[in-house]
Amino acid sequence: MKEKATTGEQISGSLAASEELLCRLRERIVGFAASRYSREAAEDLAQEVLMVLHDKYSHVTKVEELLPLSLQILRFKIVTLHRKAGVRREAADVPVDGLPLPSGDPDPERLFVRKEMLTRLHAAVARMGARCRQIFQMKLEGRTFEEIRVSMGVKAINTIYTWDFRCRKELLERMGGRWEK
């Protein structure tokens, strides 16, 4: 009966030793992972590493072999986590709560710049000759160069192209050499 008690004591003693070994190993794994991630993520990674050790490396029992093996598995898990985060674009995600809501109204600065440019454009067109104003008006109505040619009674379409080029050049000069201030 004494032999059975000793065997039971040996088994319980070895279980206690392996539990202590796993606890120390887990602490090291969590510490290493926590230096790179939050404590919660480190706990999850440690749990995954311990599951891999249990499932695939149950034959490894020495501390000298378990610690480097567990840290290598942890490195692989971290690399996989980074890769998955990159694929899912989790690293670039911004919390929705911090973003301002877009307004349906146009930007006041753009409205002002556009209004100012239109005022300059109207003033420049008003100082141009009648032919240029007529060409611009027909172009704004959506007419093609051929329709403008027929409407103005010109024989060659190249004449309309030339007039259009000269009118646009004159308009640009009257606008100060560039469209925007």
Q: What is the reported pLDDT for 91? A: 55
Can you read off the two tokens belonging to residue 89?
A: 């674009």
C-alpha angle with apex 62: 20 to 19, nearest 5 degrees?
15
Q: What is the reported pLDDT for 44? A: 86
User: pLDDT tens digit string along 66-117?
Assistant: 888 888 888 888 888 878 877 666 555 666 777 777 777 888 888 898 898 8
Taking residues 42-57, report their average pLDDT. 86
SS3 state of residue 95: coil
48 alpha carbon, distance to own chain's centre: 29
Highest mean pLDDT among 33-42, 46-55, 82-91, 132-141: 132-141
Is the pLDDT assigned to residue 129 strictly greater than 80? yes
Higher pLDDT, residue 39 or 91: 39
Distances (CA, A) of 121 to 76, 117, 179, 181: 64, 6, 9, 12
**How does the average pLDDT of the chain come out, rounded?**
82
Give the count of beta carbons closer than 10 Å to the beta carbon of residue 45. 22
Is the pLDDT assigned to residue 1 strictly greater than 50? no
Nearest Cα residue to 60 out of 21, 11, 30: 21
Is the pLDDT assigned to residue 144 strictly greater than 80? yes
Residue % of the chain over a pLDDT of 90: 29
Instruction: Choose which CATH entry (1.10.10.10, 3.40.50.720, 1.10.357.10, 1.10.600.10) describes domain 108-174.
Output: 1.10.10.10
Distances (CA, A) of 37 to 14, 40, 65, 86, 129: 33, 8, 25, 16, 72
Phi-psi region of 69 (alpha: psi -120 to 50; beta: other; left: phi over 0): alpha
Query: 46 burial class (0-12, 13-18, 19+ CB within 10 angstroms)?
Result: buried
Is the pLDDT assigned to residue 54 strictly greater than 70? yes
Higher pLDDT, residue 71 or 160: 160
Q: What is the reported pLDDT for 83? A: 82
Higher pLDDT, residue 164 or 83: 164
HEC string of 26-40 equals HHHHHHHHHCCCCHH
Give the count of beta carbons closer than 10 Å to the beta carbon of residue 148. 21
Q: What is the spatial distance between Cα 33 and Cα 41, in angstroms, rounded to a whole number?
A: 8
Domain locations along the chain: 14-91, 108-174
Q: What is the reported pLDDT for 32? A: 83
In the block, residue with structure tokens 């919390």:
95
